Amino acid sequence: MTVRTTKLIITRENAVFWLDGNGRWHNDHGPFENRKIITFFHSHIRRDAAGYHVAQRRENLIEKVYFRYEDTALFVFDVSAKSPIMLVLNTGKQVRLMPRKLMISGDGLYMHRRGERIKFVDRALLKISRIIDFDDPCYFIRVGGRRYRIPESTPESSSDPGRKERETTISYLNDQRYPR
């Protein structure tokens, strides 16, 4: 006898939680406070053709909840001081700092990696600030004995593939918070 696996898909519009622009999970009652739940949600972020979702498998059930996010679903939560510089993402994954993939947009520092946009949270910015220079009007990062310029970008000029999805999410969140 074969056991049939059931898939439960929750759309972004029906999800009861979302990720804010600083990497914090929220629901209608406010920001999540339980550290275990926060870690679970972050560590189960996945991406497929339909977008970012939190996925889990329980016995013969696969659950995917596509969630809204205000800026990006991936964040740098920590930075290692060793060489090579490694970034610890909200998902728990560690990736190498790629200085040529950095960009500044608004007040944020981002890195593009494999078609995904990763934002540095304030704590990670503090850690990496020791190797960032500002020579008016440009920012630079010093890595491996070299100095790389960090370009500035506006959302309109960004080649970010998740831009359309974020704009839809922001529009939805604004409509929910400020009904007309």
Give residue 164's pLDDT: 53
> 81 in a domain, yes or no?
yes
Give the tokens for residue 159.
């080649």
Q: Could you tell me if residue 134 is inside a domain? A: yes
The CATH number of the domain where 28 resides is what?
3.10.540
In a domain, 156, yes or no: no
Nearest to 132 by CA among 111, 114, 153: 111
Specify the pLDDT at position 2.
78
Same domain, 144 and 86: yes
CA distance 95 to 87: 5
To 5 degrees, how large is the angle CA 127–CA 143–CA 42? Answer: 45
Averaged pLDDT score across all residues of the chain = 88
Residue-wise pLDDT for 62-114, tens only, equals: 999 999 999 999 999 999 988 899 999 999 999 999 999 999 999 999 999 99
- Number of structural domains the chain divides into: 2
Q: Which residue has the higher pLDDT, 156 or 165?
A: 165
Range of the domain at 135: 74-150
Global pTM exceeds 0.85: no
Give residue-wise pLDDT tens across range 51-62: 999 999 988 999
The whole-number pLDDT of residue 83 equals 84
The reply to whether 140 and 173 lie within a common domain is no
3-state helix, strand, coil in the chain (%, to 5): 20, 45, 35
Contacts of 62 (CB under 8 A, 6+ apart): 5, 6, 7, 8, 55, 56
